[in-house]
């Protein structure tokens, strides 16, 4: 048996408990407490995400392809856990009484290059790119021959029969993508950060626990989606606070159910 190359981390998948009553409220409360305790990395993450969003908006408007903004808006919740990954480590360190400054967290994320997190991260990015391709194909199928300048000046085309069918099919496909991403990563990402385990094992463990407790876990997924979309409404500025808050809370969702994590 190969020796654990990171002996400071426990090996293998821990036993998972069922979601406890009010687990979402407890996670949000603990996440907010962590954000207030060590806001530096979270604010850095939120500000970087907002700037990246503004750049994306500017590029799509400049290129005259504003439809890509719709795909980006619906695709962002898929990769939001990656954006907030460092906040998991902040919360983990706070729980262990360890330093959680920006430099420490950046150094820890740098060390993750030699572990399994990059593999799951790459898988998520590839799947997001496939979502962009599939979304554009659905758009072309229903509205490819419709006259449209951009989303803001031709919004009425979405209210046509073809436009409504496109949005209906796109919502179903996007929902499937979102569920797959969520089920893979809600426990998979923090598991890879906290324990020595390969990424496929982490994905399967996460998927299995979500399937076993589908209703409460879908409730948590709904909270994430609603808060992220509300945060994006004021020119993306809400992400400065909401993204790190959800990141910290996501760690506590994992910590409440993974034996030995709390």
What are the extents of the domains in the chain? 23-144+152-257
Q: What is the pLDDT of residues 87-99, one digit of tens each?
A: 998 999 998 888 8
**Residue 251 reports pLDDT greater than 50:** yes
CB 188 within 8 Å of CB 206: yes
Mean pLDDT calculated for residue range 221-244: 90
pLDDT at 215: 95
Q: What is the pLDDT of residues 61-71, one digit of tens each?
A: 776 666 666 66
**Residue 238 reports pLDDT greater than 80:** yes
Q: Which residue has the higher pLDDT, 3 or 229?
A: 229
């Amino acid at each position: 048996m190969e020796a654990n190359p990171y002996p400071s981390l426990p090996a293998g998948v821990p036993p998972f408990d069922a979601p406890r009553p009010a687990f979402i409220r407890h996670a949000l409360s603990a996440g907010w407490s962590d954000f207030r305790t060590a806001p530096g990395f979270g604010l850095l993450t939120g500000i970087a995400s907002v700037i990246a969003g503004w750049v994306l908006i500017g590029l799509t408007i400049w290129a005259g392809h504003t439809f890509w903004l719709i795909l980006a808006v619906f695709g962002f919740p898929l990769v939001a856990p990656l954006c907030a990954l460092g906040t998991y480590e902040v919360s983990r360190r706070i729980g262990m009484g360890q330093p959680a400054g920006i430099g420490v967290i950046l150094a820890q994320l740098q060390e993750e290059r030699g572990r399994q997190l990059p593999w799951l991260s790459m898988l998520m990015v590839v799947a997001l790119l496939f979502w962009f391709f599939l979304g554009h194909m659905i758009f072309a199928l229903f509205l490819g021959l419709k006259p449209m300048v951009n989303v803001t000046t031709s919004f009425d085309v979405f209210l046509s029969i073809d436009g409504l069918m496109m949005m209906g099919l796109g919502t179903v496909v996007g929902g499937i993508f979102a569920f797959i991403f969520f089920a893979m990563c809600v426990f998979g990402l923090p598991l890879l950060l906290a324990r020595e385990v390969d990424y496929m094992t982490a994905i399967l463990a996460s998927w299995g626990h979500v399937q076993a407790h589908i209703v409460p876990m879908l409730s948590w997924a709904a909270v994430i989606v609603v808060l992220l979309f509300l945060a994006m409404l004021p020119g993306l500025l809400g992400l400065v606070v909401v993204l790190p808050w959800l990141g910290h809370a996501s760690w506590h969702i994992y910590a409440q159910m993974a034996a030995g994590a709390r």
